[in-house]
Amino acid sequence: MSTGLKGYSPFGEIEELGDGLFRLNIGPQHPISGQGRFIVITDGERVFDIEMDIGYSHRGIEKILEYKTFVQGIVPVERMVMLDTSNILMGYVGAIERVLGIEPPPRANYIRTIVMEINRILSHLYALGLLSEAAAWNPAVFLWTTADREPFLDLLEMLTGARWSYSFFVPGGVRADIPNGFIDRLRKTLDWFEKRIEVYEEAWIYNELFRMRTEGMGVVSRQQAIDWGLAGPNLRASGVPYDTRKNEPYAAYGELDFRIVTHNAGDSYARGWARVEEMKVSVDIIRQALDNLPEGPVKTRMPPRPKPGEALFRVETGRGEMNVYIVSDGKDKPYRIKISPASFRNFFTIEMLPKTQEVLLADVPVLIYSFDPWFLDADR
């Protein structure tokens, strides 16, 4: 099949590849692409290769952090993923605490856990909305999930004073204690939210057409998931029971009892399903943390300068495990910070899929959003 297209590309690329194949630029100006570009080699319906083009939103956050004191660095580091700020910030703050050699008080750890799990719910809700929109749900489910984020955003505003970027965790604890009435309101919201999850399962996860679009599509086997370095719910949907919250506990996760969600299929449906199940686990974790909330201070004194040294901190963000590596030369600013985000690894799995199985052009958006990638996270 020849398309008979005349070559015209603002990027000056060779358009015709022979055998009726051509390059399709999905992005950076496309309804699904976000802040990046997917170069798709296709014959019109079948996809033979996907090439990722990231870096459109690179802000040099790692370099910026070298010119900020430890506390000043909180604000730029949160800008990696605005949906998931407290989980991202936990990685940075945790690494600083290790290099400073301080431990936050237990109450601060529990408050951190509550905030991070609420944030995980917010992040997964948004991911599910985008996945449903990619499978052409007209934006119905996306708007439902967006509306259901509001009660949680209000709660976090009550606790931290901000809806999105809280800057709530500081080295040595959290900025403020829980206000009056917060716990009751949170419990009520959780009861309401459990009913909402049932609605999503009814309308969406068990929907026949949604299953037709996602089941058996974009399969990543257990071994491939390990080899390609997949992270987060995507890894667990391929049947690998790895969760940093369990394997290398931080905050209060070591003292709480929760399960790791795994699914054996490893397809797009399993990845969507895993996120719904993880929201249920998050609700459970928040309930336990509220029940066991210890009394005491929420902040310890932070020494002005660390000793020269280095520290690594792993954190399970909404998109998977993020590693933060800090090298300190004894000044009040880090010598070097290396952040290895989860989205970067998840993105490049998309490149591998057309090489191992048949992918159609209509599958590309579902494929992309089943991995819940975040360009700003990968670009940093």
Partner 1 sequence: MFNELISFLNENFQTLFIISVFPGLSFVLGFVIFAVWYQRKYLARLMIRMGPVHCGGRLGWLQLIADALKLITKELIFPKAANKFLFVFASIMLPVIPAAMIALIPFAPGLVIYNASGLSLLIFFAISTLFPVIGVIRGWAANNKFTIIGAFRNIYLDIAGEIPVFLSSVGVMVWAGTYDLNEIVLRQQGMWFVIPQFLGFIVFFLGLLAMVEKVPFDIPTAETELIYGPNTEYSGAMFLNMMEADYVNLLAWTLLMITLYFGGYNGPTIFADPVVNGVFWLILKLLVAITIIFTIMISYARLRIDQAVRMGWNYLLPLSILNLLLTLVLKYLLVGGVWG
Does 138 interact with partner 1 (rule: CB under 8 A)? Answer: yes
Stretch that binds partner 1, among 163-171, 210-218, 292-300, 326-334 (CB under 8 A): 210-218
Shortest distance (Å) from residue 112 CB to partner 1: 32
Q: Is the dihedral of CA 270, 276, 279, 283 positive or negative?
A: negative
When the beta carbons of 210 and 374 are compared against partner 1, the nearer one is: 210
Q: In 217-325, which ranges are continuous DSSP H helix?
A: 222-227, 233-237, 244-247, 268-291
When the beta carbons of 125 and 326 are compared against partner 1, the nearer one is: 125
> Do 290 and 187 contact (CB within 8 A), yes or no?
yes
Shortest distance (Å) from residue 167 CB to partner 1: 30
Binding residue for partner 1, selected from 70, 92, 126, 144, defined by CB under 8 A? 144
Shortest distance (Å) from residue 113 CB to partner 1: 30
Binding residue for partner 1, selected from 28, 105, 106, 139, defined by CB under 8 A? 139
Q: Which helix H or strand E contains 145, and what residues bound it? A: helix 140-160
> Do 78 and 322 contact (CB within 8 A), yes or no?
no
Does 44 interact with partner 1 (rule: CB under 8 A)? Answer: yes
The structure tokens listed for 77 are: 């580091």
Does 17 interact with partner 1 (rule: CB under 8 A)? Answer: no
Stretch that binds partner 1, among 143-151, 160-168, 246-254, 281-289 (CB under 8 A): 143-151
Cα-based angle 312, 317, 318 (whole degrees, multiple of 5): 170
- For residue 28, how far is the Cα from the chain centroid? 21
Give residue 301's identity as a one-letter amino acid code.
R
Q: Which helix H or strand E contains 50, and what residues bound it? A: strand 46-53
Binders of partner 1 in range 351-380 (CB under 8 A): 360-365
Does 137 interact with partner 1 (rule: CB under 8 A)? Answer: yes
When the beta carbons of 38 and 253 are compared against partner 1, the nearer one is: 38
Does 313 interact with partner 1 (rule: CB under 8 A)? Answer: no
Does 266 interact with partner 1 (rule: CB under 8 A)? Answer: no
Q: How far is CA 371 from CA 145, 244, 249, 314, in A?
A: 18, 18, 24, 20
* Residue that is written with structure tokens 């399970």 in the block: 316
Shortest distance (Å) from residue 214 CB to partner 1: 8
Does 153 interact with partner 1 (rule: CB under 8 A)? Answer: no
Q: In 58-105, which ranges are continuous DSSP H helix?
A: 61-66, 74-78, 85-100
Does 20 interact with partner 1 (rule: CB under 8 A)? Answer: no
Does 213 interact with partner 1 (rule: CB under 8 A)? Answer: yes
Stretch that binds partner 1, among 91-99, 208-216, 249-257, 283-291 (CB under 8 A): 208-216
Give one DSSP letter per residue of 147-198, joined into a string: HHHHHHHHHHHHHHS-SS----EETTEESSPPPTTHHHHHHHHHHHHHHHHH
The structure tokens listed for 167 are: 């800057």
Binding residue for partner 1, selected from 123, 132, 288, 370, defined by CB under 8 A? 132
What is the binding site for partner 1 (CB under 8 A)?
3, 5-6, 8, 22, 24, 30-32, 44-45, 132-140, 143-144, 147, 203, 207, 209-210, 212-213, 360-365
